[in-house]
C-alpha cells in the first residue's frame, strides 16, 4: 500500500494528514486520488460508508486547486446538512497548512444572509445541500461559472430524497468543461441514470463489489410481533452491556417514541429526527460521539453524515422502505477494521423483504433467537464481575475510609460479601426477568397481539398509477402542491399500475381530503381523486372521500354528506391486488423529513 506522499499529494497536505493520524490510504483513496490527479475524465466511484471517500475526492481537489484564485472552483453536493458540515470540517482539516484556501458550507436551517456574506469574501470550495445551493444560485450569491470540479456525494441518497430537479439546476449553472465526480454507496438504476445523463464517458472505480455489504458486518434477524418489537429491542440492548448503537426507525414520530421508551427504561438514549432544530441536532450528535449517549434512535435522513467510529450494532427497528438504504444503515458499523452486527427486527410477513437485501449484500441473514431472561441475567452478571475484576483501585483516595468499612463488614464471610455485592448491583435485573416470557414463541396469546404498525397513519387511495407515469417523486410533488401543512409525516407510497396508495399523519386526515377537493388538481390531463382507505383483516379495504357517502343500492358513491363511522363502501379487489402484487422500485419511500422544499433543504 502507498503513502499519501507517494499518491502525489504535496507536503502540506501530507503533513496535515499525519497530524490527523492518517497513516495509509484506504482502497478507495488509493484508486481515486491518482485518477483525479492525472486525468480530467469524469469519475464514477463506488465506496461503502466508512471507507474514507471524503478524503478520496477532496484531497486531489485540494492538491490541484488554485488557492490564489478566490473564485469558486469546486462545488460539492451532499444530501444532508450533517454530511455537508462533516465534509466542510474535513476539508478544513486537510488544508490547514494551506491558509489561502477557503471553504464555505451552505445548508438549510442556517442564516442564509450569513452564508451570503461568507461567499462574498471568496471561497475556492463550496460544500452544500442541493436546496440551499440552488437558492444561493438564484440569488446570484453563488457563482459557479469557474467551477472545475463538481462532486455528487451520496448520489443515491440525493435521488431518494427527491433532489433530481435541484441537481439539474446546479448542473445548468456549471460549465461543460468541469470534471464530475460521482460517489455513491449503492448503485441502483437511478444512480446509473445520473451517470449516463450528467457524465461524459466516466471512469469507474470501486472499493468493493457494487452494493455489496462490508465483510466486517454480520447480519442477523429476530422474528417479532408488533407487540414484542420493542421488548425484543430492549433485550438486545440488555444482552450487550457495552452496546453502542444506532436504532433506525421509519418515521419521526416512531423515532421519538422509541427513544422515550428507552430513556424511561433507564438507557442513555436520545432521538435524532427532522423535528429537531439544528442546535438540538448538533447537541445530540456531539453527546453520541462522546458516548454520553449509548443508543441513538434516528431516521435514515437525520443519520446521514453522522460519522461515528466503533459502533457495535446497527438495529433496524423497522426495515427501510428503500431496500438500498439497508446497506447505508449497516455500513455505519464494522468500520476502520472493526467488526459489527446489523440486526433486523421483523415480523413473519416482513421476512420476504430480506431476500432482495440478501441479493444486494451478497450475504445471508442469520436467524437469531431473542435472548431469554436467563441468558440476559447471566451475561449481565459476568459483565459486572469482569468490570469489578478490571477496576483499578486508587488506594490514596479511599484509604481513610477503609478502616471503618473493614470494621462494618467484619462479620461477613468472603462468600456472603460477594453475594451481597452482586445482589446490590444485580437485583433489578433478576427481578425484571424473573418471570419474563419467551418472546420467540410467536403463537402465544401474550406475544401475538399488538398495535398496528400504521396506527399513526391514514392510508389514502389515489386514482393514478404507473400507466399515468406516476412515481414516488411525482406523487410527493403533487401532495406538496396542495399546501396541506408544514412538517406533515408521510409514510409508505405504493405505486401500482392504475392506482396507488400513500400514507399521511392521521392528524392531517381531514385536511388532506379538504385540500384535494378544494384544489381539484389534475395530473397529465386526468382529474385527481383521493380517498381514504381503511384496510380490514381480510386484506380488502374501505374508502371514503370528503363529500361522499355509501350508496348500498348501486355500489357507487353518492353525492351526499360524508357519513361518520363505518359508512364506507367496501372496495373492489384493488386492496387485495395490492396485497398480492409487489410494485417496482417505486413501491415505497422512507418517511419524509418535512414537506416540499422544507423537506428537501437538509
DSSP string, 536-574: -TTS-EEEE-TT-EE-TTTSSEESSPPPSSS--EEP-SH
User: Residue 129 in contact with residue 304, Cβ under 8 Å?
Assistant: no
pLDDT of residue 132: 93
Of 9-13, 45-49, 439-443, minimum mean pLDDT range: 45-49
Handedness of CA 26, 28, 34, 37 (dihedral sign): negative
pLDDT of residue 557: 28
Distance of CA 26 to the CA centre of its chain: 24
Per-residue model confidence as pLDDT tens digits over 162-206 = 787 888 889 889 999 999 999 887 666 667 777 777 788 899 988
Per-residue model confidence as pLDDT tens digits over 366-416 = 999 999 888 888 888 888 888 888 888 888 888 888 889 888 888 888 888
Same CATH fold assignment for domains 11-206 and 217-372+438-448? yes
Q: Is pLDDT above 50 for 241?
A: yes
pLDDT of residue 304: 67
Q: How far apart are CA 114 and CA 58, in angstroms?
A: 24
Kindly report the CATH number that applies to the domain delimited by 217-372+438-448. Answer: 3.40.50.300
Q: How far apart are CA 231 and CA 440, in angstroms?
A: 11
pTM of the model: 0.56
Question: In the block, which residue shows the cell 469524469?
Answer: 42
Of 93-102, 299-308, 384-393, minimum mean pLDDT range: 299-308
Q: How far apart are CA 78 and CA 85, in angstroms?
A: 9
Q: How far apart are CA 455 and CA 232, in angstroms?
A: 20
What's the CA dihedral at 59, 62, 64, 69 to 10 degrees? 170
CATH class of 11-206: alpha beta
3-class secondary-structure state, position 460: strand
Domain residue ranges of the chain, discontinuous segments joined by +: 11-206, 217-372+438-448, 374-432, 457-600
Strand partners, 180: 150
Amino acid at each position: 500500500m502507498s503513502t499519501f506522499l507517494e499518491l502525489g499529494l504535496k507536503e502540506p497536505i501530507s503533513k496535515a494528514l499525519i497530524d490527523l493520524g492518517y497513516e495509509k490510504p484506504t482502497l478507495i483513496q488509493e484508486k481515486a486520488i491518482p485518477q483525479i490527479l492525472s486525468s480530467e475524465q469524469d469519475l464514477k466511484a463506488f465506496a461503502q460508508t466508512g471507507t474514507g471517500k471524503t478524503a478520496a475526492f477532496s484531497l486531489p481537489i485540494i492538491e490541484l486547486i488554485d488557492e490564489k484564485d478566490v473564485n469558486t472552483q469546486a462545488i460539492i453536493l451532499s444530501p444532508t446538512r450533517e454530511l455537508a458540515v462533516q465534509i466542510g470540517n474535513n476539508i478544513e482539516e486537510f488544508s490547514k497548512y494551506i491558509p489561502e484556501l477557503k471553504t464555505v458550507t451552505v445548508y438549510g436551517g442556517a442564516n442564509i444572509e450569513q452564508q451570503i456574506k461568507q461567499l462574498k469574501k471568496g471561497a475556492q470550495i463550496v460544500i452544500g445541500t442541493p436546496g440551499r445551493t440552488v437558492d444561493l444560485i438564484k440569488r446570484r450569491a453563488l457563482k459557479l461559472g469557474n467551477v472545475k470540479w463538481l462532486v455528487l456525494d451520496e448520489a443515491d441518497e440525493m435521488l431518494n430524497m427527491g433532489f433530481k430537479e435541484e441537481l439539474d439546476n446546479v448542473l445548468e449553472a456549471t460549465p461543460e468543461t468541469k470534471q464530475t465526480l460521482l460517489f455513491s454507496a449503492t448503485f441502483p438504476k437511478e444512480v446509473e441514470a445520473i451517470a449516463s445523463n450528467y457524465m461524459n464517458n466516466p471512469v469507474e472505480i470501486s472499493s468493493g463489489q457494487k452494493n455489496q455489504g462490508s465483510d466486517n458486518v454480520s447480519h442477523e434477524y429476530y422474528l417479532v410481533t408488533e407487540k414484542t418489537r420493542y421488548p425484543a429491542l430492549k433485550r438486545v440492548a440488555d444482552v450487550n452491556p457495552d452496546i453502542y448503537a444506532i436504532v433506525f426507525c421509519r418515521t419521526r414520530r416512531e423515532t421519538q417514541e422509541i427513544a422515550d421508551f428507552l430513556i424511561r427504561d433507564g438507557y442513555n438514549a436520545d432521538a435524532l429526527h427532522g423535528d429537531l432544530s439544528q442546535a438540538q441536532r448538533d447537541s445530540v450528535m456531539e453527546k453520541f460521539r462522546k458516548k454520553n449517549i449509548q443508543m441513538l434512535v434516528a431516521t435514515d435522513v437525520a443519520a446521514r453524515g453522522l460519522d461515528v467510529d466503533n459502533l457495535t450494532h446497527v438495529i433496524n427497528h423497522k426495515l427501510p422502505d428503500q431496500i438500498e438504504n439497508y446497506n447505508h444503515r449497516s455500513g455505519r458499523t464494522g468500520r476502520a477494521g472493526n467488526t459489527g452486527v446489523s440486526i433486523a427486527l421483523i415480523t413473519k410477513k416482513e421476512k420476504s423483504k430480506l431476500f432482495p437485501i440478501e441479493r444486494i449484500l451478497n450475504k445471508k441473514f442469520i436467524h437469531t433467537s431473542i435472548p431469554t431472561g436467563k441468558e440476559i441475567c447471566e451475561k449481565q452478571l459476568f459483565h459486572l464481575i469482569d468490570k469489578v475484576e478490571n477496576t483499578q483501585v486508587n488506594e490514596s483516595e479511599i484509604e481513610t475510609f477503609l478502616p471503618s468499612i473493614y470494621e462494618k463488614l467484619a462479620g461477613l464471610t468472603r462468600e456472603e460479601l460477594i453475594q451481597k455485592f452482586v445482589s446490590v448491583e444485580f437485583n433489578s435485573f433478576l427481578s425484571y426477568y424473573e418471570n419474563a416470557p419467551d418472546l420467540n414463541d410467536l403463537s402465544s396469546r401474550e406475544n401475538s397481539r399488538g398495535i398496528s404498525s400504521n396506527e399513526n397513519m391514514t392510508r389514502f387511495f389515489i386514482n393514478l398509477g404507473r400507466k399515468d407515469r406516476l412515481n414516488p417523486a411525482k406523487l410527493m410533488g403533487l401532495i406538496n402542491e396542495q399546501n396541506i401543512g408544514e412538517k406533515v409525516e408521510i409514510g409508505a407510497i405504493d405505486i401500482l399500475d392504475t392506482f396507488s396508495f400513500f400514507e399521511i399523519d392521521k392528524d392531517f386526515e381531514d385536511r388532506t381530503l379538504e385540500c384535494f377537493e378544494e384544489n381539484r388538481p389534475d395530473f397529465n390531463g386526468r382529474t385527481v381523486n383521493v380517498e381514504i382507505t381503511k384496510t380490514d383483516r381480510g386484506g380488502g379495504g374501505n374508502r371514503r372521500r370528503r363529500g361522499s357517502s355509501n350508496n348500498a343500492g348501486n355500489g357507487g358513491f353518492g353525492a351526499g354528506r360524508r357519513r361518520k363511522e363505518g359508512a364506507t363502501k367496501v372496495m373492489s379487489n384493488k386492496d387485495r391486488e395490492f396485497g398480492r402484487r409487489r410494485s417496482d422500485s417505486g413501491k415505497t419511500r422512507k418517511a419524509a423529513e418535512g414537506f416540499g422544499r422544507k423537506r428537501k433543504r437538509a
